[in-house]
Amino acid sequence: MAAFTAVTSANRTDRRPADDPGLYNVKTFGAKADGKTIDTPAINKAIDAAAAAGGGTVFFPAGNYLSVSIHLKSNIALYLDQGATIVAANTSSDAKYDPPEPNEWDKYQDFGHSHWRNSLIWGENLTNVSILGPGMIWGKGLVRSGTQSRTQQQNDALNAARAGEPKTPFGYPNPRDEVEPGWGNKSISLKLCRNVIIRDITILHGGHFAILATGVDNLTIDNLKIDTNRDGIDVDACKNVRISNCTVNSPFDDGICPKSSFALGYARATENVTITNCQVSGYDEGSLLDGTYKRAFNNQNGTFSPTGRIKFGTESNGGFKNITISNCVFEYCRGLALETVDGGLLEDVTISNITMRDISNSPIFLRLGSRVRGPQGTPVGALRRVNIDNVIVYNAQPRYASLISGIPGHDIEDLRLSNIRVYYQGGGTKEQAALEPPEKENDYPEPTMFGQIPAYGFFIRHVRGLEMSDVAVTYLKDDARPAFILSDAKVVDLRNIKARHGQGLPSFILKDVEDFLLQQSQPLPDTKLATVKRHQF
Protein backbone atom coordinates (compact mmCIF):
# COMPACT_ATOMS: atom_id res chain seq x y z
CA MET A 1 0.00 0.00 0.00
CA ALA A 2 1.31 3.44 -0.90
CA ALA A 3 2.21 5.85 1.88
CA PHE A 4 -0.20 8.73 2.26
CA THR A 5 0.10 12.33 3.42
CA ALA A 6 -2.86 14.20 4.88
CA VAL A 7 -3.64 17.64 3.47
CA THR A 8 -6.33 19.35 5.50
CA SER A 9 -8.83 21.99 4.47
CA ALA A 10 -11.47 23.82 6.48
CA ASN A 11 -14.11 21.09 6.58
CA ARG A 12 -12.47 17.92 5.29
CA THR A 13 -9.27 15.94 5.04
CA ASP A 14 -7.96 15.12 1.57
CA ARG A 15 -5.50 12.26 1.42
CA ARG A 16 -2.99 12.06 -1.38
CA PRO A 17 -0.14 9.59 -1.96
CA ALA A 18 3.32 10.73 -0.90
CA ASP A 19 4.54 9.77 -4.38
CA ASP A 20 1.88 11.92 -6.06
CA PRO A 21 3.62 13.78 -8.92
CA GLY A 22 1.94 16.99 -7.71
CA LEU A 23 3.67 16.72 -4.32
CA TYR A 24 7.18 18.18 -4.02
CA ASN A 25 8.95 17.08 -0.84
CA VAL A 26 11.59 19.65 0.08
CA LYS A 27 13.86 16.88 1.37
CA THR A 28 13.96 15.43 -2.13
CA PHE A 29 15.50 18.74 -3.22
CA GLY A 30 18.16 18.66 -0.51
CA ALA A 31 16.57 20.15 2.61
CA LYS A 32 18.18 18.77 5.79
CA ALA A 33 15.54 19.87 8.31
CA ASP A 34 18.16 19.73 11.06
CA GLY A 35 17.75 23.30 12.32
CA LYS A 36 21.40 24.03 11.47
CA THR A 37 21.69 23.91 7.69
CA ILE A 38 20.26 26.80 5.67
CA ASP A 39 17.53 25.02 3.69
CA THR A 40 16.50 28.03 1.58
CA PRO A 41 18.09 26.80 -1.69
CA ALA A 42 16.34 23.44 -1.42
CA ILE A 43 12.98 25.01 -0.56
CA ASN A 44 13.15 27.46 -3.46
CA LYS A 45 14.21 24.65 -5.82
CA ALA A 46 11.12 22.68 -4.81
CA ILE A 47 8.92 25.72 -5.43
CA ASP A 48 10.55 26.33 -8.81
CA ALA A 49 10.02 22.71 -9.84
CA ALA A 50 6.36 22.78 -8.85
CA ALA A 51 5.82 26.07 -10.67
CA ALA A 52 7.55 24.76 -13.81
CA ALA A 53 5.15 21.81 -13.82
CA GLY A 54 2.16 24.15 -13.70
CA GLY A 55 1.70 24.05 -9.93
CA GLY A 56 1.68 21.69 -6.99
CA THR A 57 2.13 21.25 -3.25
CA VAL A 58 5.56 21.84 -1.72
CA PHE A 59 5.62 19.49 1.24
CA PHE A 60 7.54 19.98 4.51
CA PRO A 61 7.67 16.76 6.57
CA ALA A 62 8.47 16.99 10.28
CA GLY A 63 11.72 18.80 11.03
CA ASN A 64 13.21 22.25 11.54
CA TYR A 65 13.90 24.10 8.29
CA LEU A 66 16.29 26.98 8.89
CA SER A 67 15.74 29.54 6.16
CA VAL A 68 15.95 33.08 4.87
CA SER A 69 13.74 34.48 2.08
CA ILE A 70 11.44 31.88 0.48
CA HIS A 71 9.99 32.93 -2.89
CA LEU A 72 6.38 31.97 -3.47
CA LYS A 73 5.08 31.44 -7.00
CA SER A 74 1.64 31.14 -8.58
CA ASN A 75 -0.31 27.89 -8.30
CA ILE A 76 1.78 26.73 -5.34
CA ALA A 77 0.73 25.46 -1.91
CA LEU A 78 3.22 25.23 0.93
CA TYR A 79 2.14 22.44 3.28
CA LEU A 80 3.77 22.22 6.71
CA ASP A 81 3.10 18.82 8.23
CA GLN A 82 2.65 18.18 11.94
CA GLY A 83 6.05 18.73 13.54
CA ALA A 84 7.39 20.79 10.64
CA THR A 85 8.75 24.25 11.50
CA ILE A 86 10.18 26.85 9.15
CA VAL A 87 12.67 28.74 11.32
CA ALA A 88 13.77 32.24 10.33
CA ALA A 89 17.56 32.23 10.40
CA ASN A 90 19.62 34.86 12.14
CA THR A 91 21.22 37.19 9.64
CA SER A 92 24.89 36.36 9.06
CA SER A 93 27.47 36.36 6.29
CA ASP A 94 26.01 33.03 5.12
CA ALA A 95 22.33 33.86 5.59
CA LYS A 96 20.81 37.09 4.34
CA TYR A 97 17.21 38.00 3.58
CA ASP A 98 16.29 39.62 0.29
CA PRO A 99 16.89 43.38 0.37
CA PRO A 100 13.88 45.70 0.59
CA GLU A 101 12.78 46.77 -2.87
CA PRO A 102 12.66 50.50 -3.74
CA ASN A 103 9.36 52.25 -3.08
CA GLU A 104 8.98 55.87 -4.16
CA TRP A 105 5.89 56.17 -1.94
CA ASP A 106 7.69 55.33 1.31
CA LYS A 107 7.20 58.85 2.66
CA TYR A 108 3.53 58.11 3.43
CA GLN A 109 3.94 55.10 5.74
CA ASP A 110 6.65 53.49 7.82
CA PHE A 111 9.36 51.18 6.52
CA GLY A 112 7.54 47.98 7.43
CA HIS A 113 4.46 48.83 5.34
CA SER A 114 6.56 50.03 2.39
CA HIS A 115 8.53 46.86 1.61
CA TRP A 116 7.68 43.18 1.16
CA ARG A 117 10.74 41.28 -0.05
CA ASN A 118 12.77 41.47 3.17
CA SER A 119 10.60 38.70 4.61
CA LEU A 120 10.84 35.02 5.48
CA ILE A 121 8.14 34.10 2.92
CA TRP A 122 7.09 36.57 0.23
CA GLY A 123 5.25 36.75 -3.07
CA GLU A 124 4.28 39.47 -5.53
CA ASN A 125 1.80 39.50 -8.44
CA LEU A 126 0.78 35.89 -7.80
CA THR A 127 -2.44 33.92 -8.17
CA ASN A 128 -3.64 30.75 -6.49
CA VAL A 129 -1.28 30.54 -3.51
CA SER A 130 -1.77 28.62 -0.26
CA ILE A 131 0.18 28.25 2.98
CA LEU A 132 -1.30 25.37 4.98
CA GLY A 133 -0.68 23.69 8.33
CA PRO A 134 -0.67 22.18 10.87
CA GLY A 135 3.03 23.08 11.12
CA MET A 136 4.69 26.24 12.43
CA ILE A 137 6.53 29.31 11.20
CA TRP A 138 8.96 30.55 13.86
CA GLY A 139 10.40 33.97 13.09
CA LYS A 140 13.33 33.42 15.40
CA GLY A 141 15.79 35.56 13.44
CA LEU A 142 13.35 38.28 12.35
CA VAL A 143 13.51 41.80 13.77
CA ARG A 144 10.57 43.97 14.76
CA SER A 145 12.28 47.32 14.15
CA GLY A 146 15.24 48.92 12.44
CA THR A 147 17.01 49.31 15.76
CA GLN A 148 17.35 45.54 16.14
CA SER A 149 19.16 45.25 12.78
CA ARG A 150 22.01 47.53 13.88
CA THR A 151 24.68 47.59 16.54
CA GLN A 152 24.34 49.95 19.48
CA GLN A 153 27.15 52.05 17.99
CA GLN A 154 25.28 52.36 14.68
CA ASN A 155 22.06 53.34 16.47
CA ASP A 156 23.89 55.91 18.57
CA ALA A 157 25.37 57.44 15.40
CA LEU A 158 21.94 57.67 13.76
CA ASN A 159 20.43 59.25 16.84
CA ALA A 160 23.27 61.76 17.01
CA ALA A 161 22.68 62.74 13.38
CA ARG A 162 18.95 63.42 13.84
CA ALA A 163 19.38 67.19 13.80
CA GLY A 164 20.96 67.06 10.35
CA GLU A 165 18.36 64.83 8.74
CA PRO A 166 16.25 66.36 5.96
CA LYS A 167 12.77 67.14 7.15
CA THR A 168 9.85 65.43 5.44
CA PRO A 169 6.17 66.22 6.00
CA PHE A 170 5.44 62.95 7.81
CA GLY A 171 8.85 61.92 9.08
CA TYR A 172 9.35 59.16 6.49
CA PRO A 173 11.56 57.75 5.13
CA ASN A 174 13.44 57.70 8.39
CA PRO A 175 16.92 56.14 8.67
CA ARG A 176 16.21 55.03 12.23
CA ASP A 177 13.02 53.26 11.08
CA GLU A 178 14.73 51.33 8.27
CA VAL A 179 15.79 47.71 8.65
CA GLU A 180 19.30 47.14 7.33
CA PRO A 181 19.66 45.15 4.07
CA GLY A 182 20.08 41.44 4.71
CA TRP A 183 17.72 41.42 7.69
CA GLY A 184 14.14 40.18 7.63
CA ASN A 185 11.23 41.79 9.47
CA LYS A 186 8.10 39.88 8.37
CA SER A 187 7.04 36.23 8.44
CA ILE A 188 4.66 36.25 5.46
CA SER A 189 4.42 39.16 3.05
CA LEU A 190 2.20 39.30 -0.04
CA LYS A 191 1.72 42.12 -2.54
CA LEU A 192 -0.81 42.36 -5.39
CA CYS A 193 -1.88 38.73 -5.26
CA ARG A 194 -5.21 36.98 -5.88
CA ASN A 195 -6.84 33.82 -4.60
CA VAL A 196 -4.77 33.25 -1.47
CA ILE A 197 -5.42 30.83 1.40
CA ILE A 198 -3.50 30.78 4.69
CA ARG A 199 -4.90 28.09 6.96
CA ASP A 200 -4.16 25.97 10.02
CA ILE A 201 -0.59 27.17 10.64
CA THR A 202 0.96 28.57 13.81
CA ILE A 203 3.22 31.64 13.78
CA LEU A 204 5.55 32.42 16.68
CA HIS A 205 7.57 35.66 16.93
CA GLY A 206 6.58 37.06 13.56
CA GLY A 207 8.66 40.26 13.42
CA HIS A 208 7.07 43.57 12.45
CA PHE A 209 4.22 41.64 10.80
CA ALA A 210 3.32 37.99 11.18
CA ILE A 211 1.22 38.46 8.02
CA LEU A 212 1.25 41.55 5.78
CA ALA A 213 -1.08 41.36 2.77
CA THR A 214 -1.14 44.49 0.58
CA GLY A 215 -3.39 44.70 -2.46
CA VAL A 216 -4.39 41.04 -2.05
CA ASP A 217 -7.87 40.06 -3.25
CA ASN A 218 -9.89 36.94 -2.52
CA LEU A 219 -7.92 36.25 0.65
CA THR A 220 -8.88 33.58 3.19
CA ILE A 221 -7.12 33.44 6.57
CA ASP A 222 -8.51 30.66 8.73
CA ASN A 223 -7.71 28.77 11.93
CA LEU A 224 -4.35 30.37 12.71
CA LYS A 225 -2.61 30.65 16.06
CA ILE A 226 -0.31 33.67 16.17
CA ASP A 227 1.83 34.54 19.20
CA THR A 228 4.01 37.43 18.16
CA ASN A 229 6.10 40.43 19.10
CA ARG A 230 4.40 43.06 16.95
CA ASP A 231 1.44 43.09 14.48
CA GLY A 232 -0.46 39.86 13.88
CA ILE A 233 -2.61 39.98 10.73
CA ASP A 234 -2.55 43.16 8.62
CA VAL A 235 -4.69 43.36 5.48
CA ASP A 236 -3.85 46.56 3.62
CA ALA A 237 -5.80 47.78 0.57
CA CYS A 238 -7.35 44.32 0.12
CA LYS A 239 -10.72 43.24 -1.28
CA ASN A 240 -12.84 40.17 -0.53
CA VAL A 241 -11.16 39.01 2.67
CA ARG A 242 -12.31 36.37 5.15
CA ILE A 243 -10.53 36.13 8.51
CA SER A 244 -12.00 33.44 10.74
CA ASN A 245 -11.28 31.18 13.70
CA CYS A 246 -7.94 32.85 14.48
CA THR A 247 -6.29 33.38 17.87
CA VAL A 248 -3.82 36.27 17.88
CA ASN A 249 -1.68 37.25 20.86
CA SER A 250 0.29 40.44 20.20
CA PRO A 251 1.16 42.38 23.37
CA PHE A 252 3.20 45.09 21.63
CA ASP A 253 1.03 45.91 18.62
CA ASP A 254 -2.32 45.23 17.00
CA GLY A 255 -3.75 41.74 16.60
CA ILE A 256 -6.00 41.95 13.54
CA CYS A 257 -5.63 45.18 11.62
CA PRO A 258 -7.33 46.24 8.38
CA LYS A 259 -5.41 49.13 6.83
CA SER A 260 -5.46 51.14 3.59
CA SER A 261 -2.07 52.78 3.17
CA PHE A 262 -0.48 54.55 0.20
CA ALA A 263 2.25 51.90 -0.10
CA LEU A 264 1.08 50.82 -3.58
CA GLY A 265 1.37 54.38 -4.87
CA TYR A 266 -2.37 55.00 -4.89
CA ALA A 267 -5.26 55.00 -2.45
CA ARG A 268 -7.22 51.74 -2.48
CA ALA A 269 -9.96 50.77 -0.05
CA THR A 270 -9.95 47.69 2.11
CA GLU A 271 -13.43 46.38 1.44
CA ASN A 272 -15.72 43.38 1.58
CA VAL A 273 -14.10 41.95 4.71
CA THR A 274 -15.45 39.55 7.33
CA ILE A 275 -13.69 38.96 10.65
CA THR A 276 -15.44 36.27 12.69
CA ASN A 277 -14.90 33.80 15.52
CA CYS A 278 -11.52 35.29 16.46
CA GLN A 279 -9.76 35.95 19.77
CA VAL A 280 -7.22 38.71 20.40
CA SER A 281 -5.08 39.27 23.49
CA GLY A 282 -1.96 40.94 24.86
CA TYR A 283 -0.39 38.30 27.09
CA ASP A 284 3.39 38.00 27.26
CA GLU A 285 4.76 36.80 23.94
CA GLY A 286 4.95 33.02 23.80
CA SER A 287 2.55 32.44 26.66
CA LEU A 288 -0.44 31.85 24.39
CA LEU A 289 1.24 28.88 22.76
CA ASP A 290 2.70 27.44 25.97
CA GLY A 291 -0.63 27.84 27.76
CA THR A 292 0.63 29.98 30.66
CA TYR A 293 -1.07 33.27 29.58
CA LYS A 294 1.42 35.37 31.53
CA ARG A 295 0.98 39.04 32.37
CA ALA A 296 4.45 39.55 33.80
CA PHE A 297 5.93 41.98 31.26
CA ASN A 298 6.06 45.65 32.11
CA ASN A 299 8.03 48.59 30.83
CA GLN A 300 10.49 50.60 32.86
CA ASN A 301 7.98 53.13 34.17
CA GLY A 302 5.26 50.57 34.87
CA THR A 303 2.76 51.93 32.36
CA PHE A 304 2.66 49.04 29.89
CA SER A 305 -0.67 48.85 28.08
CA PRO A 306 -0.92 45.58 26.10
CA THR A 307 -2.22 46.11 22.57
CA GLY A 308 -3.52 42.97 20.87
CA ARG A 309 -6.79 44.46 19.60
CA ILE A 310 -8.80 44.62 16.38
CA LYS A 311 -8.17 48.02 14.80
CA PHE A 312 -8.90 49.80 11.52
CA GLY A 313 -5.96 52.06 10.66
CA THR A 314 -4.00 54.05 11.38
CA GLU A 315 -3.00 53.92 7.70
CA SER A 316 -6.27 54.97 6.07
CA ASN A 317 -5.69 56.63 2.71
CA GLY A 318 -8.05 54.34 0.80
CA GLY A 319 -10.63 53.87 3.53
CA PHE A 320 -12.72 50.90 4.66
CA LYS A 321 -16.04 49.71 3.21
CA ASN A 322 -18.47 46.85 3.69
CA ILE A 323 -16.88 45.16 6.69
CA THR A 324 -18.34 42.93 9.40
CA ILE A 325 -16.79 41.87 12.71
CA SER A 326 -18.69 39.23 14.67
CA ASN A 327 -18.33 36.69 17.47
CA CYS A 328 -14.93 37.91 18.68
CA VAL A 329 -13.26 37.91 22.11
CA PHE A 330 -10.83 40.55 23.44
CA GLU A 331 -8.87 39.70 26.58
CA TYR A 332 -6.12 41.62 28.37
CA CYS A 333 -5.65 44.05 25.48
CA ARG A 334 -6.90 47.35 24.12
CA GLY A 335 -10.42 47.78 22.84
CA LEU A 336 -11.99 47.97 19.41
CA ALA A 337 -10.69 50.89 17.31
CA LEU A 338 -12.07 52.31 14.06
CA GLU A 339 -9.85 55.09 12.75
CA THR A 340 -9.69 57.08 9.53
CA VAL A 341 -7.24 59.97 9.58
CA ASP A 342 -5.61 59.96 6.12
CA GLY A 343 -8.49 60.96 3.85
CA GLY A 344 -10.27 57.63 3.42
CA LEU A 345 -13.97 56.88 3.84
CA LEU A 346 -14.80 54.49 6.67
CA GLU A 347 -18.37 53.42 6.00
CA ASP A 348 -20.87 50.56 6.09
CA VAL A 349 -19.41 48.60 9.00
CA THR A 350 -21.32 46.21 11.25
CA ILE A 351 -19.90 44.88 14.52
CA SER A 352 -21.77 42.37 16.69
CA ASN A 353 -21.42 39.78 19.43
CA ILE A 354 -18.20 41.01 21.05
CA THR A 355 -16.94 40.27 24.56
CA MET A 356 -14.04 42.10 26.22
CA ARG A 357 -12.31 41.57 29.56
CA ASP A 358 -9.44 43.44 31.24
CA ILE A 359 -9.28 46.18 28.62
CA SER A 360 -6.29 48.52 28.85
CA ASN A 361 -7.80 51.60 27.18
CA SER A 362 -11.06 52.64 25.48
CA PRO A 363 -13.38 49.68 24.91
CA ILE A 364 -14.78 51.45 21.83
CA PHE A 365 -12.73 54.09 20.00
CA LEU A 366 -14.01 55.79 16.83
CA ARG A 367 -11.84 58.56 15.43
CA LEU A 368 -12.17 60.76 12.36
CA GLY A 369 -9.04 62.91 12.15
CA SER A 370 -7.01 65.02 9.76
CA ARG A 371 -3.48 63.67 9.89
CA VAL A 372 -3.85 63.29 6.06
CA ARG A 373 -0.59 61.44 5.62
CA GLY A 374 -0.75 61.35 1.82
CA PRO A 375 -0.08 63.40 -1.33
CA GLN A 376 -0.66 67.13 -1.21
CA GLY A 377 -4.34 67.95 -1.42
CA THR A 378 -5.53 64.84 0.41
CA PRO A 379 -8.86 65.84 2.01
CA VAL A 380 -10.26 64.91 5.38
CA GLY A 381 -12.15 61.63 5.07
CA ALA A 382 -15.45 60.54 6.57
CA LEU A 383 -16.66 58.03 9.14
CA ARG A 384 -20.31 57.03 8.74
CA ARG A 385 -22.89 54.27 8.77
CA VAL A 386 -21.46 52.12 11.55
CA ASN A 387 -23.55 49.72 13.65
CA ILE A 388 -22.21 48.22 16.90
CA ASP A 389 -24.48 45.70 18.63
CA ASN A 390 -24.39 43.17 21.45
CA VAL A 391 -21.15 44.04 23.25
CA ILE A 392 -20.20 43.28 26.84
CA VAL A 393 -17.06 44.68 28.48
CA TYR A 394 -15.77 43.91 31.98
CA ASN A 395 -12.94 45.64 33.87
CA ALA A 396 -12.05 48.42 31.45
CA GLN A 397 -9.20 50.77 32.38
CA PRO A 398 -10.55 53.89 34.17
CA ARG A 399 -8.56 56.65 32.43
CA TYR A 400 -10.37 56.28 29.11
CA ALA A 401 -14.07 56.14 28.45
CA SER A 402 -15.38 54.83 25.18
CA LEU A 403 -14.44 57.63 22.77
CA ILE A 404 -16.28 58.75 19.65
CA SER A 405 -14.72 61.87 18.19
CA GLY A 406 -14.68 63.68 14.88
CA ILE A 407 -13.06 67.08 14.46
CA PRO A 408 -14.54 70.57 14.09
CA GLY A 409 -16.36 70.79 10.77
CA HIS A 410 -16.14 67.04 10.14
CA ASP A 411 -18.66 65.01 12.10
CA ILE A 412 -18.89 61.26 12.52
CA GLU A 413 -22.28 60.46 10.98
CA ASP A 414 -25.06 57.89 11.21
CA LEU A 415 -23.85 55.81 14.13
CA ARG A 416 -25.95 53.18 15.94
CA LEU A 417 -24.96 51.46 19.19
CA SER A 418 -27.26 48.93 20.85
CA ASN A 419 -27.26 46.19 23.49
CA ILE A 420 -24.00 47.28 25.10
CA ARG A 421 -22.87 46.70 28.70
CA VAL A 422 -19.62 48.18 29.99
CA TYR A 423 -18.15 47.72 33.47
CA TYR A 424 -15.34 50.21 34.05
CA GLN A 425 -12.85 50.02 36.90
CA GLY A 426 -13.92 53.46 38.15
CA GLY A 427 -12.05 55.68 40.57
CA GLY A 428 -12.31 58.93 38.61
CA THR A 429 -12.17 62.23 40.50
CA LYS A 430 -14.00 65.56 40.37
CA GLU A 431 -10.77 67.12 39.12
CA GLN A 432 -10.76 64.73 36.19
CA ALA A 433 -14.42 65.52 35.53
CA ALA A 434 -13.46 69.17 34.95
CA LEU A 435 -10.92 68.39 32.21
CA GLU A 436 -11.46 69.46 28.60
CA PRO A 437 -9.77 67.03 26.18
CA PRO A 438 -7.81 68.79 23.41
CA GLU A 439 -8.87 68.36 19.79
CA LYS A 440 -5.50 67.22 18.39
CA GLU A 441 -6.95 67.11 14.89
CA ASN A 442 -3.67 66.18 13.16
CA ASP A 443 -2.27 63.71 15.67
CA TYR A 444 -1.71 59.97 15.54
CA PRO A 445 -5.04 58.44 16.61
CA GLU A 446 -5.02 56.66 19.96
CA PRO A 447 -7.19 57.10 23.07
CA THR A 448 -4.16 58.37 24.98
CA MET A 449 -4.04 61.43 22.67
CA PHE A 450 -6.78 63.10 24.72
CA GLY A 451 -5.30 62.45 28.16
CA GLN A 452 -7.62 61.53 31.00
CA ILE A 453 -11.26 61.69 29.98
CA PRO A 454 -13.83 63.71 32.00
CA ALA A 455 -16.55 61.06 31.53
CA TYR A 456 -16.24 57.49 32.72
CA GLY A 457 -18.66 55.89 30.22
CA PHE A 458 -18.81 57.63 26.82
CA PHE A 459 -17.18 60.83 25.60
CA ILE A 460 -18.83 61.83 22.30
CA ARG A 461 -17.79 64.88 20.26
CA HIS A 462 -18.43 66.17 16.72
CA VAL A 463 -21.15 63.67 15.84
CA ARG A 464 -24.31 63.94 13.72
CA GLY A 465 -26.95 61.23 13.74
CA LEU A 466 -26.34 59.10 16.83
CA GLU A 467 -28.71 56.39 18.04
CA MET A 468 -28.05 54.47 21.26
CA SER A 469 -30.44 51.93 22.73
CA ASP A 470 -30.20 49.40 25.55
CA VAL A 471 -26.83 50.71 26.69
CA ALA A 472 -25.67 50.38 30.30
CA VAL A 473 -22.47 51.74 31.85
CA THR A 474 -21.33 51.26 35.42
CA TYR A 475 -18.17 51.12 37.51
CA LEU A 476 -16.56 48.70 39.97
CA LYS A 477 -15.30 51.51 42.25
CA ASP A 478 -16.96 54.88 42.90
CA ASP A 479 -16.35 57.42 40.16
CA ALA A 480 -16.97 61.17 40.37
CA ARG A 481 -17.23 61.71 36.62
CA PRO A 482 -20.49 61.77 34.64
CA ALA A 483 -21.35 58.70 32.60
CA PHE A 484 -21.85 60.60 29.33
CA ILE A 485 -20.47 63.80 27.89
CA LEU A 486 -21.77 64.93 24.49
CA SER A 487 -20.16 67.94 22.84
CA ASP A 488 -21.07 69.38 19.42
CA ALA A 489 -23.54 66.55 18.85
CA LYS A 490 -26.56 66.82 16.58
CA VAL A 491 -29.59 64.58 16.04
CA VAL A 492 -29.12 62.33 19.07
CA ASP A 493 -31.70 59.65 19.94
CA LEU A 494 -31.11 57.70 23.16
CA ARG A 495 -33.42 54.99 24.53
CA ASN A 496 -33.21 52.70 27.55
CA ILE A 497 -29.91 54.08 28.82
CA LYS A 498 -28.73 52.97 32.26
CA ALA A 499 -25.92 55.01 33.77
CA ARG A 500 -24.71 54.66 37.33
CA HIS A 501 -23.70 57.92 39.00
CA GLY A 502 -22.70 59.13 42.43
CA GLN A 503 -24.87 61.05 44.88
CA GLY A 504 -25.49 64.55 43.57
CA LEU A 505 -23.52 63.95 40.37
CA PRO A 506 -24.97 64.17 36.87
CA SER A 507 -25.28 61.23 34.49
CA PHE A 508 -25.16 63.47 31.40
CA ILE A 509 -23.39 66.67 30.47
CA LEU A 510 -24.43 68.22 27.15
CA LYS A 511 -22.43 70.98 25.43
CA ASP A 512 -23.55 72.60 22.16
CA VAL A 513 -26.06 69.86 21.43
CA GLU A 514 -28.93 70.05 18.92
CA ASP A 515 -32.01 67.87 18.47
CA PHE A 516 -31.48 65.69 21.54
CA LEU A 517 -33.95 63.03 22.71
CA LEU A 518 -33.68 60.70 25.72
CA GLN A 519 -36.50 58.25 26.46
CA GLN A 520 -37.31 55.22 28.60
CA SER A 521 -34.21 55.60 30.73
CA GLN A 522 -35.50 55.58 34.31
CA PRO A 523 -34.74 57.09 36.72
CA LEU A 524 -33.62 59.75 34.25
CA PRO A 525 -36.51 61.86 32.99
CA ASP A 526 -37.50 61.81 29.35
CA THR A 527 -35.70 64.80 27.86
CA LYS A 528 -36.18 66.54 24.53
CA LEU A 529 -34.03 69.53 23.62
CA ALA A 530 -34.00 71.46 20.36
CA THR A 531 -30.74 73.20 21.14
CA VAL A 532 -28.70 73.64 24.28
CA LYS A 533 -25.44 75.42 25.05
CA ARG A 534 -24.83 73.51 28.26
CA HIS A 535 -27.08 71.24 30.26
CA GLN A 536 -26.59 68.50 32.80
CA PHE A 537 -28.92 66.05 34.52
Q: Are residues 282 and 359 in the same domain?
A: no
Q: Are residues 356 and 256 in the same domain?
A: no
For 196-225, letters b (16+ CB in 10 Å) and e give bbbbbbbbbbbbbbbbbbbbbbbbbbbbbb
Interacting residues of 35 by C-beta distance below 8 A, sequence separation 6+: 63, 64, 66, 87
CB atoms within 10 A of CB 472: 17
Task: Give the per-residue pLDDT at 158.
Answer: 55
Give the domain extent around 241: 1-313
pLDDT digits (tens, 9 = 90+) for 342-375: 999 999 999 999 999 999 999 999 999 999 999 9
Task: Give the per-residue pLDDT at 154.
Answer: 64
Nearest-angstrom CA–CA distance, 253 and 398: 21
Q: Are residues 261 and 391 in the same domain?
A: no
Question: CA torsion, points 228, 230, 233, 235, in degrees to nearest 10?
Answer: -160
pLDDT band at 531 (very low <50, low <70, confident <90, very high): very high
Q: Are residues 378 and 482 in the same domain?
A: yes
Domain count, the chain: 2
Answer yes or no: is 326 within a domain: no
Q: What are phi and psi of 528, to 5 degrees?
A: -130, 125
Answer yes or no: is 440 within a domain: yes
Answer yes or no: is 324 within a domain: no
Q: Are residues 50 and 107 in the same domain?
A: yes
Asked whether the beta carbons of 75 and 128 are under 8 A apart, the reply is: yes
Which of 254, 279, 313 is at the close of a domain? 313
Which of 256, 278, 313 is at the close of a domain? 313
Q: Are residues 222 and 357 in the same domain?
A: no
Answer yes or no: is 321 within a domain: no
**Of 463, 457, 504, which Cα lies nearest the Cα of 482?**
457
CB atoms within 10 A of CB 34: 11
Q: Are residues 239 and 367 in the same domain?
A: no
Q: Are residues 280 and 349 in the same domain?
A: no
Q: Are residues 229 and 142 in the same domain?
A: yes
Q: 508-519 and 402-405: which strand pairing?
A: unpaired
Which of 248, 283, 313 is at the close of a domain? 313
Answer yes or no: is 318 within a domain: no
Answer yes or no: is 320 within a domain: no
pLDDT digits (tens, 9 = 90+) for 383-413: 999 999 999 999 999 999 999 999 999 999 9
pLDDT over 80 (residue 468): yes
pLDDT over 60 (residue 73): yes
Q: Are residues 237 and 124 in the same domain?
A: yes
pTM score:
0.94
HSE-up (13 A, CA, CB side) for residue 499: 28
Q: What is the mean pLDDT of the chain?
A: 94
DSSP 27: G
Task: Give the per-residue pLDDT at 3.
Answer: 38
Answer yes or no: is 414 within a domain: yes
Average of pLDDT values for 103-107?
95
Residue length of the chain:
537
Rg (CA), the chain: 25
Answer yes or no: is 327 within a domain: no
Beta strands in 182-216 (DSSP E): 186-191, 194-199, 202-204, 209-214
Residue 53 maps to which CATH number? 2.160.20.10
Q: Are residues 252 and 363 in the same domain?
A: no
Nearest-angstrom CA–CA distance, 379 and 337: 21
Q: Are residues 56 and 161 in the same domain?
A: yes
